[in-house]
Amino acid sequence: MKLQASYPDARPVRGIYVSGWVAGSANGLNRMLNIARNNDLNAMVIDVKNDFGKVTYASSLPEVKEIDSDSEPLIKDVDQMITTLKEQNIYLIGRVVVFRDPWLVHNKPQWAIYKKSGALWRDKKGTTWIDPYQQEVWDYNIAIAKEAAAKGFNEIQFDYVRFPENGAKMDQVVQYANSEQLTKSQAISRFLEKARSRIHEDGAKVSADVFGLVTSSSDDMGIGQTWSGVSRHVDTISPMTYPSHYSQGMYGIANPDLEPYAVINRALTDAGRRNEQLVKHGIHAARVRPWLQGFTASWIHPHQNYTSAQIKAQIQAAEDLGIQEFLIWDAQCRYDYEI
């Protein structure tokens, strides 16, 4: 069953993640270009605002300068990088990490998530988060996204566009700045709706990363992400369907990391069905472009090494459902992939 239309208007986007560190290194960027040139890849997802809340190039935005979030930029000449990649026909996706932002918490503590006791809330890794109900934070991230779009990024991809995990547990101890009494999914949807409208003004597309289980979950999993709430407000939705991230027995698969084709097939089948329901009711449904696993999850048992064979099995599972686009994730940008 084909769940996604063909692409008469443009090349299917097939890309890899490139960290700010790698993008800012001449050798690193050339290595990524060689991987793309030698394979069927035509896109790169490059950090614009990373997991630490740092903007990766020198910004001209006053709100960025106010808190020095572009201090020590990893990409010294972003304009030249964009020119170089576009000359090679690379589709540029700027990754903006939204609500996991310890730098912004440090400099604008009034926007953080707090416990009812008044203490800063931290996740299990000790990281502080921004309160997704804070609309000043929406504007801050949208401004950064718009600047990147104006510089030439073809698309802005929002990551960590969610509340922290273990939502039910944390909700018992935190106090959100939720004056409008929105649900979590309403807050995420409204942010994306506003962001898409503003970024389209600069001619760029908008995408959002969601947990892999969002394709199949019946609720927002406590993080504010529902398929309907996200898909209707972005151009492309990217579920992080990494087989290693699924629990044993999920979809009836004993050890998901060992069966990448089966995991992707089941997850994206559910995604397609949900998009079909949106379209049936006259609602916009985003193009599906899954994140695929390009790393070895050595911390789980049993696991396997993810080399070309495992990556291609995931790509095949998507293509068998009519989904020709994909992104490959490896935080270290060490891709063992050859067509």
First-residue to last-residue Cα distance in the chain:
25
* DSSP state letters, 135-162: HHHHHHHHHHHHHHHHHT-SEEEEES-S
pLDDT at residue 5 above 80? no
| CB-CB neighbours of 282 under 10 Å | 6
- Residue whose C-alpha is closest to residue 52's, from 80, 25, 72: 72
**What integer best gives the mean pLDDT of the chain?**
96
Average pLDDT over residues 224-239: 98
Is beta strand 236-240 parallel, antiparallel or unpaired with respect to 205-211?
A: parallel
Q: How confident is the model at residue 6 (pLDDT cuts 50, 70, 90)?
A: very low
Provide the whole-model pTM: 0.96
171-202 pLDDT, tens per residue?
Answer: 999 999 999 999 999 999 999 999 999 999 99
CB-CB contact of 185 with 242 (8 Å): no
pLDDT of residue 9: 53
329-339 pLDDT, tens per residue?
Answer: 999 999 999 87
pLDDT at residue 265 above 50? yes
pLDDT at residue 8 above 90? no
Looking at 19-59, list the stretches that DSSP marks H as alpha helix, in order from N- to C-terminal side.
20-23, 26-37
pLDDT at residue 123 above 90? yes
pLDDT at residue 95 above 90? yes
pLDDT at residue 253 above 50? yes
| CB-CB neighbours of 214 under 10 Å | 27
- Give me the percent of the chain exceeding a pLDDT of 90: 95
- Give me the percent of the chain exceeding a pLDDT of 70: 97
Q: CB burial class (10 A; 0-12, 13-18, 19+) of residue 252?
A: exposed
